[in-house]
Every structure is written in C-alpha cells, then in structure tokens.
Structure 1
Amino acid sequence: MTSLSWEKIAEIKHALAQERTIICGCIIRLEELKIAETVEKMRRCDQRLKELDCELVEIIEGANNNNS
C-alpha cells in the first residue's frame, strides 16, 4: 500500500467534504425543480462519497494501529 502523509489525507477528506456540499446543494435545487431522476443520481453520488470518507477513516485507523 502507498504511504500517504497526514497532510495529503486531510486534503482528500476536505475535497470529499467539498464535493458532498456541492452535491447536497444540487439535490436541494433539483428537488425544488422536481427533477426526480437526477435527484436520485445525485443521492447515489453523495452516498458513494460518504462511503469513500468511511473507507478513508478505516485506512487511517489501520495505519495508526500498524504504527502503534
């Protein structure tokens, strides 16, 4: 596995949070416009970003445990 610096991990987490913010804003607007199909696609994107964030946390925790 490639080693990531804590700074790089923080950058990735920040980028994921930014993407989720954008997607959530889009979902709200699309709901207002009653574009259900696109809303569902955006919700799936948001869910995948949440999953990626959880995976990143697991990687960090695993790295911390290996370094302890």
Structure 2
Amino acid sequence: MADEPQMIVGNEFTQVIIRKIYTRNGERVEIVSPKLKRSIQLDPLALESLTWQDIEVFTGFLAKPFGE
C-alpha cells in the first residue's frame, strides 16, 4: 500500500512533517522533525492518549527537551 500524502506544520521555531503510514501492525501516524532528524510512529491508542493529557504535560515536555 502506498503511503498517504504528507502534511507540513510549522511556525517560526520549527517544522514537522506528518503522514499516515502502513506497518505490519496496522496504520500509524509518523511525525518527523527534519531539523532534529528525529521521528516517531504513533498508533491510534497512543494518539488518543494525547487527548487525555492536560496542557501542563506538554509544557513539561518543552521545559526539559529530550529528558535532559
């Protein structure tokens, strides 16, 4: 199966590429940071779990990037 078209989301600080991919274990959303050369693949449950979080969780991610 061919991968879906990608979407680019960015602002003055960064840019990410988002696309749906197909794996042996089903569909995933892949998020790629070209600047950092990092990526992650999230399944539907992982994506849904983002909606369970308060905004403070994401603020914490930004306070200590990469777990430093």
TM-score (ref. length: structure 1): 0.22
Which protein is bigger by CA-based radius of gyration? 1
TM-score (ref. length: structure 2): 0.22
Select the structure with the greater relative contact order (CA < 8 A; seq sep ≥ 6): 1
- Structure (1/2) with the larger strand percentage: 2
